[in-house]
Homo-oligomer: A and B are copies of this chain.
């Protein structure tokens, strides 16, 4: 799956590679279970990963295997050529999953796998329920950059995403309202996204928050979540085709809190999932 220049050459020195947070290692029959994987669909919560697995099984006509490995940190299901797996909230948690699932697929000798993160987000100037497919991930400074600390130094990585994949997924939306746009990835939900409803007195005022969100809207940011830049950078570094498909739960130009009811919320989240399922169906049957 990874080219020789990208795959970590240090791993050759390990007798056994423990994928600690997945609860699997490379002495197991990873090839038998995972070699035919073509799509890895990733979700913040274990509940969503499980629900998507069931839906994918039904709609694509495959048996749902799993949870495979341990479920303490992530929950992983396999449905024919599809993996459905959770990554927790935020980039640090997501990065653990990305490293371990990529090692797993490399050991399994899987070929040509696409990574698709399916989530929920705050919209910026769009109607709740709209599905945003990311064209470019930007950080809190509105730069298309992921800043990562390595050995105490900041490394700046580009956040390129495959726009062909984004456009193909958009075409699969059917009746579901979906748009292409930039996505801001942040390291916090409250103050990191300029919310005014955290526990502590924020160091900014309502006007400054609105100014910030409007500046984001001006450069084409349609939504804000907590994973986009790390996801895009990892895919770009690994040369893996990646896409981010998020359903907006609210419009941050209007509110900070998520007011939609439990059922409506599930409906929003399912829209993003259905768009991706439509796309996968078209690729499997096509």
Number of interface residues of A (CB under 8 A): 73
Residues in B with CB closer than 8 Å to A188 are 91-92, 95-96, 148-149
In contact, A96 and B151 (Cβ under 8 angstroms): no
Q: Distance in Å from the Cβ of A144 to the closest Cβ of chain B? A: 14
Interface assignment of A242: CB less than 8 Å from any CB of chain B: no
Task: Please tell me which stretch of A123-131, A158-166, A199-207 contacts chain B, meaning at least 4 of its Cβ atoms lie within 8 angstroms of it.
Answer: A199-207
CB under 8 Å from chain B, chain A span 14-62: 14, 17-18, 20-21, 44-48
Please determine whether A209 and B151 come into contact, CB atoms closer than 8 angstroms: yes
Determine if A201 and B141 form an interchain contact, defined as CB atoms under 8 angstroms apart.
Answer: no
Q: Is A223 positioned at the interface, with any CB of B under 8 Å from its CB?
A: no
A189 within 8 A of B: yes
Q: When the two chains form their complex, are residues A259 and B7 in contact, meaning their CB atoms are under 8 A apart?
A: no
- Report chain B residues within 8 Å CB of A258: 18, 20
Q: Given B47, B198, B226, which contacts A8 in the complex, CB threshold below 8 Å? A: B198
Q: Is A217 an interface residue (CB 8 A)?
A: no
Whether A10 contacts B202 in the complex (CB less than 8 A), given A90-B88, A258-B20, A259-B18, comes out as yes
State A142–B96 Cα separation when bound (angstroms): 22
Known: A7-B201, A88-B93, A151-B194. 5 other contacts (CB 8 A): A6-B200, A47-B72, A92-B189, A96-B188, A148-B192
